Amino acid sequence: MQILSDIAELRTTLRQLRSGSERATHRSVGFVPTMGALHAGHRSLVQAARQRCDIVVASIFVNPTQFAPHEDFSRYPRTLAEDCQMLEAEGVDVVFTPTAEAMYPPGASTFVEVEGVSDRLDGASRPGHFRGVATVVAKLFHIVQPGLAFFGQKDAAQVAVLRKMVRDLDFPLEIIVCPTVREPDGLAMSSRNRYLSAVERRQALTLSRALHAAEIQVTRGEHRASALLQTVRATLQEEPAIRVDYIAAVDPDTLLPIENVASGALLAVAAYVGTTRLIDNVLLAAATGNTVVPGKKKS
């Protein structure tokens, strides 16, 4: 596995890897962008890329432009040595670890703004966040030129923004979305979980519990978004240490609110546990007319 931080060197290496066999023109590149502090959620993306592509590139870059000044950029966990061990064990070919100076040379003033969708959910709570995300991902796409790029459902609003960017700007690649990987007790894995104390870690479970309660309600035939949101809110309120940022039932592509989830919906939540902001979501499938009783197999 090669670990490269220079853009030109990465381009040369990828050119060589792409043309390194008799299947030269067909060697596909799969790309997994990350901010490091890797966990099993990231691992699942790398494994999906390894399964589907000839060459797997992962990037580790804590992108300063997606953090507001008061956010956790400086204390964001950085665990490069362990991250590289994990990526090597998963068969990654190249890890790209650029510096902020390389990604944003002095005077850089070009940004990618995906209007509308970037102002919803996390974009509403974190103004400018998705401008930073779209800009860095667009740059990484230009540098790596993957055929497939892998992202987690965990960051559902990010998926909506990046899908729209790829469509609007005709990036020649496909975005593959992988399911959220959870701890055995249901907590969605996140690099930020390591900020949580033991007590907060228990409190944080309320997020997945609240979403699950709404999911069960849907299987019993409740399709009104207002009722589902009320269930999520009530469950979160059972844990006084939690401060809700947003609870939303939206269209997964536009992130606009919907009133009825019968044709599918994204149910998403963001909340603070102590000073740590956590997000989680579930994708509600379109109703089929069959009700599924939790715990029983669908016939």
Catalytic positions are: 42
CB of 177 to ligand AMP, least distance (A): 8
Contact call for residue 190 and ligand AMP (CB under 6 A): yes
Residue range at the interface with ligand AMP (CB under 6 A); choices 13-21, 67-75, 148-156, 266-274: 148-156
| The Cα angle at residue 15 between residues 101 and 27, in degrees rounded to 5 | 125
DSSP result, 220-278: TT--BHHHHHHHHHHHHHTSTTEEEEEEEEE-TTT--B-SB-TT-EEEEEEEEETTEEE
Q: Identify which of residues 37 and 265 has a Cβ nearer to ligand AMP in the complex.
A: 37
Contact call for residues 29 and 141 (beta carbons, < 8 A): no
Structure token digits, residue 242: 């939690």
Q: Identify which of residues 12 and 85 has a Cβ nearer to ligand AMP in the complex.
A: 85
CB of 97 to ligand AMP, least distance (A): 13
User: Comparing C-alpha atoms, which of 141, 133, 274, 258 is closest to residue 202?
Assistant: 274
Residue range at the interface with ligand AMP (CB under 6 A); choices 10-18, 77-85, 177-185, 271-279: 177-185
The residues in 11-40 that bind ligand AMP, with binding defined as CB under 6 A, are 34-35
CB of 143 to ligand AMP, least distance (A): 17
What's the one-letter identity of residue 202?
Answer: R
Q: Identify which of residues 42 and 277 has a Cβ nearer to ligand AMP in the complex.
A: 42
Residue range at the interface with ligand AMP (CB under 6 A); choices 71-79, 100-108, 184-192, 272-280: 184-192
Q: Identify which of residues 212 and 233 has a Cβ nearer to ligand AMP in the complex.
A: 212
Mapping DSSP onto H, E and C, the string for 30-66 reads: EEEEECCCCCHHHHHHHHHHHHHCCEEEEEECCCHHH
CB of 36 to ligand AMP, least distance (A): 6
Contact call for residues 263 and 250 (beta carbons, < 8 A): no
Binding residues vs ligand AMP (CB under 6 A):
34-35, 41-42, 44-45, 151-152, 154-155, 178, 180-181, 188-191
